[in-house]
Amino acid sequence: MAVMKRYESAIRLDDVTAIDVHVHIEVDAAGRTSLPRPLIDAATAYFRSEGPRPGLDVVAEYYRERGMAAVVFTVDAETTLGQPPIDSAEIAEGALRNNDVLIPFGSVDPLRPVEALERARRLIDESGVRGFKFHPTLQGFDPRDERVYPIYELLEERGIPALFHTGQTGIGAGTPGGAGLKLGLSNPILLDEVAARFAGLQVIMAHPSVPWQDEAIAVATHKANVWIDLSGWSPKYFPEALVRQANSLLQDRVLFGTDYPLLTPDRWLADFAALTLRDEVRPKILKNNAVRLLGL
């Protein structure tokens, strides 16, 4: 049996213009999708995106052609979805194969906390993942649930950031009952307690946290270990308060992210260019903040 090699980055920072910290791998090597088809269809309709769901190697080439690096991951929501996730170890293996442009994050099912803790440890030690993605709404858990705290403790101890979906989601949008998914679990104010209890854990709040943008800004300005990624929304729709803080108090903790393949970096960057931001802030958001956060 072949021994899987551990991920190590070979990204040449002088060769990349930006680091996209929010890229989904939605199809595995066998063509299996990360979500049931009705949820994929709902997200496609929500984002008005008819593009393909590319595999990992295609994603790597896409970013390589653009001179960018990308953080890649899936979401392990096996308990709520009733289907196995795309394997985070497989994603890490693919990222190693494309380690000039890709950085792997892992994912574990918070509703199986004992198994998730051991799985997280293996993904760090054996696969070399550089962070973890959580989606409280899709995974059906309150991020303040103390049963999940041992996972946060592990990440804090290893210097591994935790990326949390916040705000509205296109998954299940427009379906009866929103497919049973609860938006309130992704209110960023819930992460205030996590960031307070685990001061050494770097917490990334993904997306403009509509409709709770003020809560997200309050948490990020109060807690120095909290970051905001700008994925999931075209910059032309960013709340004014978010742009103002990204241009001032939060300029060192705001990150470029797209939510690819649902939103492309080409569109995101074109709209980002139209934002009123100071010249010295733009490279921080596009690249430098991520370099510091990820230890590249």
Across the chain, what does the average pLDDT equal? 93
Name the domain count of the chain: 1
Q: Is residue 249 in a domain?
A: yes
- 103-136 confidence digits (pLDDT tens): 999 999 999 999 999 999 999 999 999 999 999 9
Give ∠ CA 225-135-72 in degrees, rounded to 5: 80
Q: Is residue 6 in a domain?
A: no
Q: Is residue 1 in a domain?
A: no
Q: Is residue 61 in a domain?
A: yes
Element (H, E) at 166: none
The pLDDT > 90 percentage for the chain reads 84
Q: Is residue 266 in a domain?
A: yes
Q: Is residue 139 in a domain?
A: yes
Q: Is residue 3 in a domain?
A: no
pLDDT surpasses 90 at 53: no
pLDDT surpasses 70 at 25: yes
pTM of the predicted structure, to 2 decimals: 0.94
- 128-180 confidence digits (pLDDT tens): 999 999 999 999 999 999 999 999 999 999 999 999 999 999 888 888 898 88
Residue 219 neighbours by CB under 8 Å, 6+ apart: 188, 189, 191, 192, 195, 205, 226
Q: Is residue 5 in a domain?
A: no
pLDDT surpasses 80 at 50: no
Q: Determine the pLDDT at residue 174.
A: 83
- CATH code for position 213: 3.20.20.140
* Per-position b or e across 117-143, b if 16+ CB within 10 A of its CB: bebbeebbeebbbbbbbbbbbbbbbbb
CA quadruple 202, 74, 57, 8: dihedral positive or negative?
Answer: positive
Q: Which domain holds residue 79?
A: 13-294
Q: Determine the pLDDT at residue 121.
A: 98
Q: Determine the pLDDT at residue 172.
A: 80
